[in-house]
Structure 1
Amino acid sequence: MSGSLIIAIVAAAVVSWLAYILSSVMKKEENPDPGPNRREPLSDEVLETKRLDRWLAAAVVFSGFLAISLPLYFLTEENRQESFVDAFDEEAVERGHHLIEEFACESCHGPGFVGGAASYVEKRSDISVSWAAPALDDIFYRYDTEEIRFWLVYGRANSPMPAWGLAGNGPMNDQQIDDIIAYLSSIQIPQEEALAKADTGVTVALNRLSNATASVELSVAAQEQLIGEIESAPALLPVVEEYLARAQSALDGAGEGLDTDDDGISDVAETTIAAVMAEAAESGLEFGGAAISAVALDAGNPESSFGVADRQAARTAVSSLNSLATNLRTTAGNQEQLLMRAQSGLDYLLEARAAEKWLVDTDGVADATFGGSSDDAGRAVGLFDAYCARCHTAGYSAGAAYTQEPGSGSLGPALWNGRATVQFLSADDMIDFIANGSELGKPYGVNGQGRGYMPGFGQVLTQRDLELIVEYLRGETLRGF
């Protein structure tokens, strides 16, 4: 629209408005209105008519409607507010689920949070271990909401559990932590199932104890293999680099030459890469637990492996060689330092194998504490390992080879050498403490000060199981000898 047309429209509008105002003024001059305050009042006959009665009747009806509807509205307000809360909680759970997936929490705590393992460098040995991560599908039976928030925000030092909250230098704000808590609350198993876990936990703990020596032997063998690989890296490196050079050269020239199946990789490249990978696989070359695998590449079929294009398969094969060469190059370049560290770790394992600090003689415990009852002693030892050792036995979560003497102390205090009887003058006091856990700032026992770290086990263990644990801890020996 041009500028002159706009000006014309505005001018016409102004003229029309002025004409309207002038017309209104002239009409008022012809029939002047005295105004509402100067008019003659209406008579009662005019005012008190059926029209007024109708308005009064309508007002009465409307007042009755308000008198009935407002109380009814407020009677349903509580349900309405509860529905808002439910909707908010559902949204929080959904957001928490997204955060769980984004930060891969189940990679450590297991699918469905039934418990899992995390990679961690054990500090006494400097060896990379698989650290047992606890189940979280029953955590609300052991901790209250604020205690769970603390662990999420600040993590657990000297373990794979990192800090997730901003206050602990983690990546999540308070709202995200709340959403994680909401999600965890939504996946809690029934208490009956939580109680039933005790039998499985005892069985697993006692099996670990009986297989501890074999487990340590495996750890020693794995460390010896690591040392052997470090020593072999300089010799293996040129072999792998030669395979890589041949395969990479073929891949780089894959766009040139005859391509029978028209898959973007030439027949020569497919044949060469397949031959190189087959030769490398037949050599039995292995490093860091990774072995080279042959790859199927058929020049007459664009997908020699079902669902995988030959071009992609060739790239993946060459990438695996490149990764292996990089690992060998790094290892060979730092061989002296890596060997020193690995040998130190082996020395630690050999000393652990000789010391057998993980060893517990349940028959000895039975004779010393349970009046010869092997069943009670076995269950007590199993319960302690399943529910208490994570915090009260150093190295327990890292595996048998790294486990120190039972009750040696870790995140929680040591419980050996009669410590339980020093802190708690009676078994009943100790049972009550284990059942309810500690509270921040609240005293317990003779001279204990609660920090909120100690969970309560009263909802996941029976009274008899609590009694067995206390009897074991207050007995003469935790190892049975």
Structure 2
Amino acid sequence: MLALTSTSIAWLLFVIILGGWVVYALLNLRQAHDELGSEVEMAANRRPYYDDEELEGPRLTRVLGVGVVLLVIIVIGLPLYWILEPSRLAGATDAKEEQFIEWGSNLFAPTADGGFNCAGCHGGMNGGGGAAPYNLTDPATGEVTAVSWAAPAVNTIFYRFSEDEVRFILVYGRPFSPMSPWGLDGGGPMNDQQIDTLISYMRSIQIPREDCGEGEDDPLSCPSGHLPTSIQDDIDALALASVEDGTYGSYGEALYNLDLSSGAYSCARCHTPGWSWGDPGVTGQGGFGWNLRGGKAASAFPNQSDMVDFIANGSVLGQKYGIQGQGSGRMPGFGSLLTEAQLEAIVEYVRSL
């Protein structure tokens, strides 16, 4: 609205100034007629003009008055335009982002709707998690098996990854998974503009965060916010119910193994082989993530609180963690998704393997 107002003011000033010049030109053309009986154009210095009394009286007053009016317009109009300029820029930025979101939604859409079918694997247009067809090849026998791979939710992807990390995954894909490269640099079909618009759309479908910090006005991306309490309560209820029915032996084991859709996703997805396609092997033996069994977790993190912090913040490329560990950037942070009690329960279970 403010952007439209500033544009209207700018057009009004333009029309007033242009109109003034037009009136000035017409008046001069009207006064510049030929002298009666003249056969040639009269020289300007022979044309009768105002006498000194008129020039230094009413004429001078009118000219000065017009000058004052134009000066007032400039003095008021320019500062007013500058005051409204930030709002105009913000409006232009918002309009651009809305356009990006629309374009990104077209890319995210199913193939039948002309998109690249991100929705087909990740649970529809809201990105709540789904399944992707995938062919597994046995490295020993070469046998190929068709499986349905549990695709993670992307409506919390910015809870776990930064925008740069999301862009890297989109461009280069996830090796050893159905997530193929989508960017031109990774061998995919999307250019940089399309990747940007896809990221804008995924940002728009993020589950709004709770308890954002001061000055963090966007609940879709505020750094200090966390998953809504209602969803964390649902995660607790799901985990506790699976312990009560004997599926898992402890609260921490349940949190480690359950597919926590609409929020976090299972630790077992990366750290238990076969979990993603419904045929889990030995718990914590390693897959996309490293092997957690045999006391390796406790050896890497002698202090349990350090391990809790690592899971909360994730792995930062090149940054040291634990005992002689160096981050690869592949381990996401779960501090915005899970409560401290949930993280501690998972760590206690993992350290018991």
Per-residue deviation, 1:379: 1.4
Aligned to 2:160: 142
The one of 74, 83, 87 equivalent to 2:91 is: 83
Aligned to 1:5: none
Per-residue deviation, 1:207: 10
Do structure 1's residue 115 and structure 2's residue 152 form an aligned pair?
Answer: no
Per-residue deviation, 1:204: 9.0
Distance (whole Å) between structure 2 residues aligned to residue 31 and residue 49 of structure 1: 33
Do structure 1's residue 198 and structure 2's residue 235 form an aligned pair?
Answer: yes
Question: Structure 1 pair 127/94, CA: closer, same or farther in 2 (3 Å)?
Answer: same
**Stretch of structure 1 that moved more, 39-48 or 445-454:** 39-48
Question: Structure 1 pair 208/407, CA: closer, same or farther in 2 (3 Å)?
Answer: farther
The one of 349, 373, 380 equivalent to 2:252 is: 380
Paired residues of 1:113 and 1:136 also in contact (CA < 8 A): yes
Aligned to 1:93: 101
The one of 283, 288, 297 equivalent to 1:411 is: 288
Distance (whole Å) between structure 1 residues aligned to residue 178 and residue 241 of structure 2: 22
Aligned to 2:317: 440
Aligned to 1:258: none
Instruction: Summarize deviations over 1:391-435 as a string: whole Å, max 9, x none.
Output: 1112211213xx221221122211111111222231111111111
Q: Which amino acid aligns with 1:122?
A: L
Per-residue deviation, 1:169: 0.4
Gaps of 5+ in 2: 1-37, 110-114, 209-226, 259-265
Paired residues of 1:394 and 1:409 also in contact (CA < 8 A): yes
Between structure 1 and structure 2, the one with the greater Rg is 1
Matches within 5 A, 1:175-214: 175-190=193-208, 191-192=227-228, 194-196=231-233, 198-199=235-236, 202=239, 210=247
Matches within 5 A, 1:272-283: none
The one of 66, 69, 84 equivalent to 2:77 is: 69
**3-state secondary structure, aligned to 2:65:** helix
Per-residue deviation, 1:202: 3.2
Question: Structure 1 pair 58/40, CA: closer, same or farther in 2 (3 Å)?
Answer: closer
Distance (whole Å) between structure 1 residues aligned to residue 100 and residue 245 of structure 2: 39
Identity of aligned residues (%): 46
Question: Structure 1 pair 32/66, CA: closer, same or farther in 2 (3 Å)?
Answer: closer
Aligned to 1:375: none
Per-residue deviation, 1:141: 1.2
Aligned to 2:217: none
Distance (whole Å) between structure 1 residues aligned to residue 129 and residue 324 of structure 2: 34
Q: Which amino acid aligns with 1:457?
A: F
Per-residue deviation, 1:61: 2.1
Aligned to 2:28: none
Do structure 1's residue 156 and structure 2's residue 164 form an aligned pair?
Answer: no
Q: Which amino acid aligns with 2:149?
A: W
Aligned to 2:351: 474
Gaps of 5+ in 1: 1-28, 211-360, 363-377
Per-residue deviation, 1:436: 1.1
Distance (whole Å) between structure 2 residues aligned to residue 152 and residue 205 of structure 1: 34
Paired residues of 1:198 and 1:460 also in contact (CA < 8 A): no
Do structure 1's residue 459 and structure 2's residue 339 form an aligned pair?
Answer: no
**3-state secondary structure, aligned to 2:150:** strand
Q: Which amino acid aligns with 2:135?
A: V
Aligned to 1:226: none
Q: Which amino acid aligns with 1:379?
A: Y
The one of 385, 393, 399 equivalent to 2:272 is: 393
Instruction: Summarize deviations over 1:316-353 as a string: whole Å, max 9, x none.
Output: xxxxxxxxxxxxxxxxxxxxxxxxxxxxxxxxxxxxxx
Distance (whole Å) between structure 2 residues aligned to residue 206 and residue 397 of structure 1: 21
Distance (whole Å) between structure 2 residues aligned to residue 168 and residue 206 of structure 1: 43
Q: Between Structure 1 and Structure 2, which shows a larger proportion of helix residues? A: 1
Q: Which amino acid aligns with 2:90?
A: E
Instruction: Summarize deviations over 1:104-130 as a string: whole Å, max 9, x none.
Output: 212211123221111112233632111
Q: Which amino acid aligns with 1:72?
A: L
Distance (whole Å) between structure 1 residues aligned to residue 188 and residue 240 of structure 2: 37
The one of 54, 67, 78 equivalent to 1:59 is: 67
Aligned to 1:232: none
**RMSD over aligned Cα, in angstroms?**
2.8
Instruction: Summarize deviations over 1:25-44 as a string: whole Å, max 9, x none.
Output: xxxx96475666x9999874
Question: Structure 1 pair 120/32, CA: closer, same or farther in 2 (3 Å)?
Answer: closer
**3-state secondary structure, aligned to 1:146:** helix
Distance (whole Å) between structure 2 residues aligned to residue 68 and residue 85 of structure 1: 26
Q: Which amino acid aligns with 2:121?
A: C
Q: Which amino acid aligns with 1:428?
A: S
Matches within 5 A, 1:288-367: 362=249
Distance (whole Å) between structure 1 residues aligned to residue 50 and residue 40 of structure 2: 21
Per-residue deviation, 1:181: 0.9
Question: Structure 1 pair 194/176, CA: closer, same or farther in 2 (3 Å)?
Answer: farther
Distance (whole Å) between structure 2 residues aligned to residue 441 and residue 139 of structure 1: 22
**3-state secondary structure, aligned to 1:457:** coil
Instruction: Summarize deviations over 1:364-406 as a string: whole Å, max 9, x none.
Output: xxxxxxxxxxxxxx21111112321111112211213xx2212
Aligned to 2:30: none
Distance (whole Å) between structure 1 residues aligned to residue 246 and residue 190 of structure 2: 39
Distance (whole Å) between structure 1 residues aligned to residue 59 and residue 346 of structure 2: 88
